Chain A
């Protein structure tokens, strides 16, 4: 099962521009995470935001969380060609356990 949808499904931008990806989820959560995946490769953990946090930064990444709307956004500033990848949000689906449920993902393409 998947937790929710991501928007847009695909995004193409020029190097240097900012990229914003949105994620919506269905159930209550304890935390939300963002991952990156290069084509055909494993996952890279980017950032975790807890349900009582509203915003978190890590380098060129900014993540926001709005639990009232059950949504999160990932902003990548000053994008680089190397940022080209698929980005997924994932939640614990409020299970209280260790399950991680993924959203549909956004495929980002950064043109040099």
Chain B
């Protein structure tokens, strides 16, 4: 089956620094990828849609200057949390859809746990 990877799997950083998270589709091309954030004991909240070759689309309430998204190629999207603060500590998950004949399959990465001190 299709695999989506994320790197790093966890990161600890100091407040004020920027952190980059990579999301790769390993065996299929993805013109669209999605970024989610999940706080402890809560559900996944969609942050933004990453579009290859164009600007990302952000969900309401998500600061685009805070969470920079770059979809550099058909297999790579990056999320940069700029000037991270403790409240940005969360589990970040990406996904990439692969269309099939009847619907599409959404493949999720294993997640990146960000802790901001």
A and B are partners in one complex rather than unrelated chains: yes
Binding site for B on A (CB under 8 A): 1-2, 30-31, 33, 35, 40-43, 45, 48, 50, 88, 90, 92, 97-105, 107
Which range contains the number of B residues in contact with the other chain? 20 to 34
Of B13-21, B42-50, B63-71, B75-83, the one contacting chain A is: B42-50
Q: Are A98 and B46 in contact (CB under 8 A)?
A: no
Q: Tell which of A41, A42, A103, A107 has the most Cβ of chain B within 10 Å.
A: A42
User: For chain B, what secondary structure do more than half of its interface residues adopt (helix, strand, loop), or is it mixed?
Assistant: strand
Is the CB–CB distance between B34 and A100 below 8 Å? yes
Q: Which 8 A-B pairs have the closest CB atoms?
A: A98-B97, A42-B110, A43-B108, A102-B44, A105-B43, A102-B43, A100-B106, A104-B43
Interfacial chain B residues near A103, Cβ < 8 Å: 43
Residues of A within 8 A of B106 (CB): 33, 45, 90, 98, 100
- B residues contacting A by CB (< 8 A) are 32, 34, 36, 41-46, 49, 59-60, 91, 93, 95, 97, 99, 102-106, 108-111, 113
- Closest residue to B98 on the A side, CB-wise? A98
Q: A107 near B46 (CB under 8 angstroms)?
A: no
Q: What is the chain A residue whose CB lies nearest that of B36?
A: A102
Q: How far is the CB of A89 from chain B (nearest CB, A)?
A: 10
